[in-house]
Amino acid sequence: MADARGGNGTGSCLGFFGRTLSANDSELHQEIPQLQSEPNSIQVKCLVRTRIPSEFGNATHSLLLYTNSSDTEEHLALVYGYGQIFSLTLEKIYPNETTRDRLVRGASVSPLVPSDITTEPPLARIHSCCFTGETLGSLRCDCREQLVQAMKLMSTENRGVILYLKQEGRGIGLKDKMRAYNLIDQGYDTHEANIELGHPADGRSYLIATAILRDLQIPSVRLLTNNPHKVESIVADGVIVSERVPMIPASWALGNISSSDRENASSEIQDRDGYLITKVKKMGHILDIPED
């Protein structure tokens, strides 16, 4: 028989496999605080959690899948240090729920003790999905590099959360993102291309992200971002940003790129640098552009 394990991967629960749990089951949970009322009207629910070993560092993170009351997408949270950080909606005990039911959806079957939870703000990254960069390896953007950088940092600390939102192309979707790429090839920049297609330069909302942070009981974060609008948006929705942690592209980290290096760079790298420079000059991102 396969080993059935609890939420943190330890502690066999075969002794109670199939037992129906009650809302006041003392063997499962000490009292877990209730989700506070939210400034926004969006409600989120974590449906399932699973363990994901990663090539980026030694830590294992938990992948949580969320539905919400605002759209039909399934958004994700990658949580490092589950137990210190946990989902209220996932850990809720439902009527007639068995231990097996909880195992299948990834809820804990051993006590979660709120007093053990550290109050230090964790690293957090609010990341919009990028099929072209993260799956196809496109060099038109730095999305994959930022995702990997966030995973490595959180793996080192063994604590943090990446909110992975279905917001392809800064919220315009894959089709219009591809159309925007074609406009960029005709001389537009990424800011102009979105506007030419009838979209805001960046029309993303972060209300779902802040709702997920509340479900994870994270009132304060150290936010990995170069985007001041992202900071302002989540602060306006009640999340405290104790620190903005910059995300510097590896090719820019040394600060200077010689003219000869820039001339010899592939067209793909020039595409990405043009994209980054536009985000700094036209969209207010906080990043030092390397000098020639």
pLDDT at 12: 32
Copy the structure tokens of residue 130.
Answer: 């990028």
How many other C-beta atoms lie within 10 A of the C-beta of residue 138? 17
Domain with residue 19: its CATH number is 3.40.50.10990
Catalytic-role residue among 202, 215, 237, 273: 202
| pLDDT of 206 | 96
pTM (2 d.p.) = 0.83
The rounded distance, in Å, linking the Cα atoms of 86 and 79 is: 8
290 occurs within a structural domain: no
pLDDT at position 272: 82
Residue 176 is assigned to a structural domain of this protein? no
pLDDT score, position 108: 92
Is residue 212 a contact partner of residue 75, using CB atoms and an 8 Å limit? yes
Residue span of the structural domain in which 79 resides? 14-167+204-247
Residue 234 in domain = yes
Task: Report if residue 219 sits inside a domain.
Answer: yes
Q: Give domain status of residue 53, yes or no.
A: yes
Instruction: Find out whether 129 and 135 touch, Cβ atoms under 8 Å.
Output: no
Which residue in 102, 140, 204, 222 is the catalytic one? 204
Distance CA 36, CA 146 (A): 31
Residue 62's CB is within 10 A of a number of other CB atoms, namely 24
CB 237 within 8 A of CB 132: no
Position 14 scores a pLDDT of 32
202 is a catalytic site residue = yes
Residue 166 tokens read as: 């279905």
> Is 83 inside any structural domain?
yes
- Residues (pLDDT < 70) of the chain are 1-40, 113-118, 254-269, 292
Q: How many domains does the chain have?
A: 1
Question: Looking at the chain, which runs of residues are DSSP E strands?
Answer: 44-53, 60-68, 75-80, 123-128, 160-165, 220-224, 240-245
For the record, the structure tokens of 64 come out as 């949580």
pLDDT at 5: 37
Give the model's pLDDT for residue 98: 94
148 part of a folded domain: yes
Structural domain contains residue 28: yes
How far apart CA 216 and CA 200 sit, in angstroms, is 30
Q: What is the Cα–Cα distance from 121 to 124, expressed in whole angstroms?
A: 9
* The predicted structure's pLDDT at residue 7: 39
CB 36 within 8 A of CB 213: no
Q: Is 288 one of the catalytic residues?
A: no
HSE, side-chain direction, 13 A CA sphere, residue 176: 17
